[in-house]
Amino acid sequence: MSRFPLDLGSPGWEYAPAPEARTVARLDAGAQGRLFIGGTWQDAADGATFPTHSPATDEHLADVALAGGTDVDRAVAAARAALPAWSGLPGAERAKLLFRLARMLQERAREFAVLEVLDNGKPIRETRDFDVPTAAAHLFHHAGWADKLDHAGLGPAPRPVGVVGAIVPWNFPLLMLAWKVAPALASGSTVVLKPAETTPLTALRFAELCEQADLPPGVLNVVTGAGATGAALVRHPGVDKIAFTGSTAVGKDIQRTLAGTDRRLTLELGGKAANIVFADAPIDETIEGIVDGIFFNQGHVCCAGSRLLVEEPVHDLVVERLTRRIGTLRLGDPLDKNTDVGAINSPAQLARIRELADVGEAEGAQRWTADCPLPERGNWFPPTVFTGVSQSSRIAQEEIFGPVLSVLTFRTPDEAVTKANNTPYGLSAGIWTEKGARILWMADRLRAGVVWANTFNRFDPASPFGGVKESGFGREGGRQGLHAYLEPSADRGGIDG
Amino acid sequence: MAALVLPDLDVDPRTLGDGEAALTAFLRGLPGVDRVGNERRAAQLATRSLKQDTKRALIDLAIRTVDLTTLEGADTPARVRSLCARALRPDPADAEVPPVAAVCVYPDLVATAAEAVAGSSVRVAAVATAFPSGRASRTVKLTDTREAVAAGADEIDMVIDRGAFLSGRYGAVADEIRAVKEVCGDAHLKVILETGELATYDNVRRASWLALIAGADTIKTSTGKVSPAATHPVALVMLQAVRDFHLMTGERRGVKVAGGIRTTKDALRHLVLVNETVGADWLTPDRYRIGASGLLTDLLLQRQKLRTGVYGSADRVTLD
């Protein structure tokens, strides 16, 4: 009597394609691909460009200006010139502009979400439900701060740090931009932004938004390019502060460059977070949390829960449930609204993930890979889990920055803490247990900037985010994040003696 | 320490015996449900996008899983006959529309319903055991059930004793389910947990397992008389119980969501939860039901819309 036309064999029906329309991204928009300096759109001084591709299809999306030293000079000069007027505006006026930007971003959320998908390869579900709304939330949050800086905890009338060089990574191009631009503009600072080489498009679109919002020329400047462009910005003596999110190796270079100067620096670098599962964890939600922790954004997350530490008695259960659940993840066209796992951002990153996965296997860990077909074009890596991983293994020590989970075990809370802390990094950690006291005991001992309890990869503009050890220093979000863009006012010395 | 029961797939919860202590230990040993995480997962699955062929097929599946329900003091034989006619042929203008799974009525109207649907695939379900509160003696509840079965009910929707459950008398709740199951005979037993009165997801999980262990063929969210009823997070927890029960015993028991499901969108989101939690084996009226009265109208209108491109007025479908 069954009239159901779909295959009823496990694991269920196939979802009909539900692609988001790519036309809203307006890839042919006029200003596409040029530098935004002093409120005008410019080609690179030497006319150089570089291409940006869709990681999911290898499609050529746009040619973008490759900023050289001259362009960086111009951008820094424009930011410097804009500084007195911008920082001199009443806070409420800066707030007005930030609120306007936040609202405009919300209004054009779909456009930004689709453009981010095309350039980055992550699924539309994530850009639509996470990247764009959270970016807008950061703008709203910091808009609220702009006229309340007296209450930021630095005494009355704190001063802006000045010209900020913001260098953001490719994993959350728009969101990382917002994390830096929002507090900088609220503080009265001006910004030269360098987006990542593989994902420049949403930053340029954001510059367009700033232009339409009547942000004064020079307050935000965007210079696109690769490592050399970033290095020129870092070395530039006209920059008062560098805010960098990216790899630990580059972060160390930046710190060396700035050593001995009076330029300030915040670094948000790599991670190898431990996600710690106790036997009394709420198992179904824990499995979801592990999946969120490592497969969110294809594992291209500095705070990804890439090391799963499981209490020994539940190891087999957790691995069995986890692999069963990973088997239901939908990998493929990132523009499809039902896609859970998108493309790896670049061929270089794919090669790095493959190399480390091979190392894991060579070192004796057992490799499990989700049985999902990979698209023929583009950069793809299937969700992968390594069990039997030892603490000394490279896949337990090095950041893979991909959809690869290493599973280790522990016997006691002490051992869990010791193993979790035994890494050069210290960005985040997760604890899964129904015991409140144990959560607090663990959180006190974990050397990580962020500790999540019974959840993972949650962010809020009011909550400071950042690392310890080789994961960097400085915080983004909250009052602590704002401090990175402020200095105590000159007369504070008089008050405090 | 409460042992995590689920990892040990050798445990067969059906062999715990009738003793209350073993049952209580088992239920208290179940892993907890994290409220935030559970609601987040349910909300995430609600964003699945259903288009074209998938939507078409799921609307028909939803129609096939409906328990078309009338549970009013004002019910009459004429109203029940009218309901049955609609159950057999939901859209008089379109013979392609499948019949619903069952009609669900009070016990005194079972005979009327059974006569009206005789010879068809549509089953007759009766709410019994002093529905909806369950506040009556065991004798009354069993008599209620016996009479419904005798009158021709294919399925019995019983309510658990929530008072006993909330005061921790799990043995009493289980005994009652077993007793009702016994008088059901061949009738399919659905056990209503009334999750709106259980209040926590931990309780929903425990009550689900309790009912499965005591012999429920299907576990059902609600009577429809208490709000909240069939929320997505509650449905998720119950589907997880059925899934894990299958992993441990090999038996596939059913789930019925009932109460507050009025729109196609909501019904299809429930089907997504089924698909992604327990898989396709449950996407059949034998193992999954949606108890509803008004939902069918929207399902039919949405079905017409997929064919004509126009969402018609409710006057375009028959109401009873």
User: Do A104 and A143 contact (CB within 8 A), yes or no?
Assistant: no
Contacts with A316 from chain B: Cβ below 8 Å: 7
The ipTM estimated for the assembled molecules is: 0.93
In this prediction, residue A315 carries a pLDDT of 96
User: Do A312 and A411 contact (CB within 8 A), yes or no?
Assistant: yes
Instruction: List C-alpha distances in Å: B16 to A402, B67, B288.
Output: 45, 33, 27
Residue B48 and residue A289: Cβ atoms within 8 Å?
no
Chain A within 8 Å of B119 (Cβ-Cβ)?
A: no
Chain B within 8 Å of A13 (Cβ-Cβ)?
A: yes
Residues linked to residue A241 through DSSP beta bridges, in sequence order: A164, A264
Residue B57 and residue A4: Cβ atoms within 8 Å?
yes
Residue B7 and residue A314: Cβ atoms within 8 Å?
yes
Instruction: Write the residue in B4, B55, B58 that is nearest to A314 by C-beta.
Output: B4
CA pair distance A268, A400, nearest whole angstrom? 16
Q: For this structure, is A116 an active site residue?
A: no
Chain A within 8 Å of B54 (Cβ-Cβ)?
A: yes
- The region of weakest confidence among B160-164, B177-181, B191-195, B279-283 is B279-283
Residue A280 and residue B32: Cβ atoms within 8 Å?
yes
In this prediction, residue A435 carries a pLDDT of 96
In this prediction, residue A4 carries a pLDDT of 31
Instruction: Write the residue in B49, B53, B276 that is nearest to A12 by C-beta.
Output: B276
In this prediction, residue B14 carries a pLDDT of 87
The three-state secondary structure class of A244 is strand
Residue A454 and residue B49: Cβ atoms within 8 Å?
no
CA pair distance B167, A60, nearest whole angstrom? 65
User: Do A322 and A290 contact (CB within 8 A), yes or no?
Assistant: yes
Residue B104 has pLDDT above 60, yes or no: yes
Q: Please, which residues have CB within 8 angstroms of residue B186's CB and are 6 or more apart in sequence?
A: none
Residues linked to residue A310 through DSSP beta bridges, in sequence order: A277, A409
Q: Which residues in chain B (261-320) have CB-CB distances under 8 A to chain A?
A: 275-276, 279-281, 283-284
User: Do A167 and A253 contact (CB within 8 A), yes or no?
Assistant: no
Instruction: Write the residue in A3, A316, A454 that is nearest to B37 by C-beta.
Output: A454
CA pair distance B13, B232, nearest whole angstrom? 26
Residue B19 has pLDDT above 60, yes or no: yes
Q: Please, which residues have CB within 8 angstroms of residue A189's CB and are 6 or more apart in sequence?
A: A83, A86, A87, A160, A161, A162, A163, A164, A240, A241, A485
**Helix axes A91-107 and A201-212, enclosed angle (nearest 10):** 120
Question: Which range of residues forms the domain containing residue B119?
Answer: 20-306
B4 found inside a domain = no
What string of pLDDT tens digits covers the 497 residues of chain A? 222 333 333 446 789 999 999 999 998 875 579 999 999 999 999 999 999 999 999 999 999 999 999 999 999 999 999 999 999 999 999 999 999 999 999 999 999 999 999 999 999 999 999 999 999 999 999 999 999 999 999 999 999 999 999 999 999 999 999 999 999 999 999 999 999 999 999 999 999 999 999 999 999 999 999 999 999 999 999 999 999 999 999 999 999 999 999 999 999 999 999 999 999 999 999 999 999 999 999 999 999 999 999 999 999 999 999 999 999 999 999 999 999 999 999 999 999 999 999 999 999 999 999 988 999 999 999 999 999 999 999 999 999 999 999 999 999 999 999 999 999 999 999 999 999 999 999 999 999 999 999 999 999 999 999 999 999 999 999 999 999 999 998 654 444 43
- Taking every pair of C-alpha atoms in chain A, what is the biggest distance, in angstroms? 88
What's the pLDDT tens digit per position in B213-240? Answer: 999 999 999 999 999 999 999 999 999 9
B30 found inside a domain = yes
Contacts with B49 from chain A: Cβ below 8 Å: 15, 18, 337-338
Q: Do domains A24-269+474-487 and A274-461 have the same CATH topology?
A: no
Chain A within 8 Å of B240 (Cβ-Cβ)?
A: yes
Q: Which residues in chain A (145-204) have CB-CB distances under 8 A to chain B?
A: none
Contacts with B7 from chain A: Cβ below 8 Å: 313-314, 316-317
In this prediction, residue A5 carries a pLDDT of 32
Closest residue in A to B35 (Cα) is A285
Contacts with B281 from chain A: Cβ below 8 Å: 8, 10
In this prediction, residue A14 carries a pLDDT of 82
CA pair distance A216, A185, nearest whole angstrom? 11
The three-state secondary structure class of A234 is helix
* Residue B54 distance to chain A (closest CA, Å): 6
For residue A403, give the nearest of A456, A468, A352 by alpha carbon. Answer: A352
B301 found inside a domain = yes
Instruction: Give the tokens for residue B20.
Output: 């209350």
Chain B within 8 Å of A314 (Cβ-Cβ)?
A: yes
* Residue A466 distance to chain B (closest CA, Å): 24
Contacts with B241 from chain A: Cβ below 8 Å: none
Supply the DSSP string of A419-470, one letter for each residue: HHH-SS--SEEEEE-S-HHHHHHHHHH---SEEEES--S---TTS-B--SGG
CATH, residue B44: 3.20.20.70
Chain B within 8 Å of A453 (Cβ-Cβ)?
A: no
What's the pLDDT tens digit per position in B126-140? Answer: 999 999 999 999 999
User: How many Cβ contacts (< 8 angstroms) between chains A and B?
Assistant: 111
Contacts with A456 from chain B: Cβ below 8 Å: none
Question: Quick one: pLDDT band at residue B57, thresholds 50, 70, 90?
Answer: very high
Q: Please, which residues have CB within 8 angstroms of residue A371's CB and are 6 or more apart in sequence?
A: A327
CA pair distance B158, B223, nearest whole angstrom? 9
B34 found inside a domain = yes
User: Do A304 and A271 contact (CB within 8 A), yes or no?
Assistant: yes
Instruction: Write the residue in A8, A15, A16 that is nearest to B280 by C-beta.
Output: A8
What's the pLDDT tens digit per position in B296-314? Answer: 999 999 999 998 888 888 8
Q: Which residue has the tokens 């062999």?
A: B15
For all residues of chain B together, what is the average pLDDT? 94
How far is C-alpha A340 from the geometric centre of its chain's CA atoms? 18
Residues linked to residue A220 through DSSP beta bridges, in sequence order: A191
CB-based burial label for A88 (10 Å; 0-12, 13-18, 19+): exposed
Catalytic residue among B157, B202, B217, B244: B157
The three-state secondary structure class of A264 is strand
Supply the DSSP string of A77-102, one letter for each residue: HHHHHHHHHHHHS-HHHHHHHHHHHH
Residue B280 and residue A16: Cβ atoms within 8 Å?
no
Contacts with B40 from chain A: Cβ below 8 Å: 285, 288
Q: In this structure, which topology does domain A24-269+474-487 adopt according to CATH?
A: Aldehyde Dehydrogenase; Chain A, domain 1 (3.40.605)
Q: For this structure, is A208 an active site residue?
A: no
B317 found inside a domain = no
In this prediction, residue B8 carries a pLDDT of 54
Instruction: Give the tokens for residue B270.
Output: 């429930």
Chain B within 8 Å of A8 (Cβ-Cβ)?
A: yes
For residue A314, give the nearest of B276, B29, B243 by alpha carbon. Answer: B29
Residue A15 and residue B276: Cβ atoms within 8 Å?
no
B294 found inside a domain = yes
Q: In this structure, which topology does domain A274-461 adopt according to CATH?
A: Aldehyde Dehydrogenase; Chain A, domain 2 (3.40.309)
Q: Which of A15, A292, A312, A431 should one mutate to test binding to chain B, selecting the residue with the greatest count of B CBs within 10 A?
A: A15
Contacts with B283 from chain A: Cβ below 8 Å: 4, 8, 12-13
Chain B within 8 Å of A323 (Cβ-Cβ)?
A: no
Q: Which pTM does this prediction carry?
A: 0.94
What's the pLDDT tens digit per position in B85-102? Answer: 999 999 999 999 999 999
Domain boundaries, chain A: 24-269+474-487, 274-461
Q: Where are the beta strands (DSSP E) in chain B?
A: 66-69, 102-105, 123-127, 155-159, 188-192, 218-220, 254-258, 288-292
Closest residue in A to B38 (Cα) is A285
- The number of folded domains in chain B is 1
